[in-house]
Amino acid sequence: MNRRTDRSRQPAGRLGFTLVELLIALFVGLIVAGVAGTVFVSSMRAYSTQTLLIDTRQEVRAALDIMAAEIRMAGFDPLRRANAGIAVAQVNTICFSMDNNMNGSVDDHDQEKITYYYNPENRVIYRQLYQGMKEDDPPPQPLTNEDEVSAMTFSYLDENSLPAASVEDVRIVGINLTFVEKDAGGRAVSRSLVTFVALRNRVILPYKGGA
């Protein structure tokens, strides 16, 4: 007597996953998702840090450019009657004037007298107009945010690029800004921006002739 095998009871192939396989796949998926999330968070932190570094550097650079542009015009005195020039030349402060409206005098308008100074208490660079020229001085305007610049120094050179003996001898003004930023690893790093400004109106010796 021949026995026929009931083929309908024997599956031709596996058509699904076992519970163990599903759990393994889920576990692997969670690991991959966790790694991807960690990488994403790290990337976002690095991007945010880099953005902050760029913003800080741009703000300090902008302050340096503003000071350099105005200091370059110190002593502008086309009629040679305004006695314009550098009045104060200190390590953290510079005060200078120019005859912008060309009327032969330094006035308390037209931004003809400017003072730049650094306040070490809040670590801010300030720009002051017409200091001592009016009954009430206009309030100083900050060029940088608090705690953004750790140091600012001016240096003053004569026509031979040597330290100037007096304000009358100043032909070049050096500006050195130091600021602290954090690198991608969160470590504080000190950076410096340095520029030297040749005074356009004092490159040659002052006019000493009559009238």
DSSP secondary structure string, 126-188? EEEESTTTSSSPPPPEESS-TTS-SEEEEEEE-TTSSB-SSGGG--EEEEEEEEEEE-TTS-E
161: left (phi over 0), alpha (psi -120 to 50) or beta: left
The whole-number pLDDT of residue 133 equals 84
- The structure's pTM equals 0.71
| Cβ pair 60, 179 in contact under 8 A | yes
The whole-number pLDDT of residue 48 equals 47
pLDDT (tens place) for every residue of the chain, 211 residues total: 555 555 555 555 555 667 766 677 677 777 776 666 665 555 545 444 444 455 678 889 999 999 999 999 999 999 999 999 999 999 999 999 999 999 999 999 899 999 999 999 999 999 999 988 877 888 999 999 998 899 999 999 999 999 999 999 999 999 999 998 776 667 778 889 999 999 998 754 444 443 3
The residues with which 184 forms a beta bridge, in sequence order, are none
| Cβ pair 193, 177 in contact under 8 A | yes
The whole-number pLDDT of residue 4 equals 52
Q: Distance between CA 84 and CA 197 in Å, rounded?
A: 17
The whole-number pLDDT of residue 37 equals 61
